[in-house]
Copies of this chain bind each other. A is one copy, B any other.
Amino acid sequence: MTRSRRPAPAVGSEKAQPFLTPTAASDTVVLTERQRIELSKIALRLRLPARKFIYREDGPAQSIYSVIDGLVKTYRDLPSGRRVVGSFLFPRDLFGLAQNGHYVNTAQAISPVTLYRFPLTDLVALLKRDGEMQFQFMLKVTHELRDAQRRAILLGRRDAPGRLAMFVMLMMEEPSGFDRESSTVSLPMTRSDIAAFLGLSLESVSRAAAELQRRGLIEFQGRRAARILDQVRLGKLAAAV
């Protein structure tokens, strides 16, 4: 349930990976042609418009999803009314974590999205049968786990500009979210979404953004994109935890 970034598909693709392997390289799932075919047999491809709910918290968890294209967010609404965005999901990210047969959060499309949907029971049967493929899934999950831990570090920070700087750096790691040519990161989510992800108020995010711009680190181009003006200093600020 988290952003991935890097390569690292759930379903198809190629190379090496971390956790559980002394070797190591990128972070990608390695599947054979046969495995990809097996998966495609149980997968359903979906196209959904922006804002569409994919599943809701506490609903019966019957599927696991993988993003093909677009952006998805998962969140929980707390009793107080506060909303916590758990993750933004980019292409190749898996989502649909459940507990006791129920989803633990709500998933909603931010942009129009294309997804794979895997019936839980079929997928589980397939994975149990194919240890190698399951291992690739496990790598995926451990990757999410690392992300979640990075997020904990981010949330541990007290300064809003620093949190936002870290967030921007995270978005830059997304292949589909950063254009090297123009040095531009796209931020398809609203300020509210960012605030709910960073654990800040909407206003603080807005002010932090203004501050980053004032310092000459980034320059917002409309609400949904920002150009990185000084990646070195931005990185320093992000790392100066």
- A residues sitting closer than 8 Å to B (CB atoms) are 1-2, 6-8, 10-12, 18-25, 61-62, 64, 76, 78-80, 82, 84, 86, 97-101, 104-105, 120-121, 123-124, 127-132, 134-135, 137-138, 141-142, 144-146, 148-149, 151-153, 155-158, 199, 239-241
20 sampled A-B residue pairs with Cβ under 8 A: A1-B145, A1-B149, A10-B99, A11-B124, A20-B127, A21-B120, A23-B101, A79-B239, A80-B240, A84-B152, A97-B145, A105-B149, A128-B131, A128-B132, A129-B131, A134-B138, A148-B149, A148-B151, A155-B155, A155-B156
Cβ-neighbour of A149 out of B82, B100, B104, B131 (below 8 A): B104
Distance in angstroms between the alpha carbons of A62 and B24 in the assembled complex:
12
Count the copies.
2
Distance in angstroms between the alpha carbons of A86 and B105 in the assembled complex:
22
Q: Which residues of B contact A135 (CB under 8 A)?
A: 124, 127-128, 134
CB distance from A55 to the nearest CB of B (A): 14
Interface centre among A101, A151, A239 (most CB of B within 10 A): A101
Contact A120:B156 (CB < 8 A) given known A97-B146, A98-B18: no
Evaluate contact between A99 and B8: CB separation under 8 angstroms. Answer: yes
Evaluate contact between B78 and A153: CB separation under 8 angstroms. Answer: yes
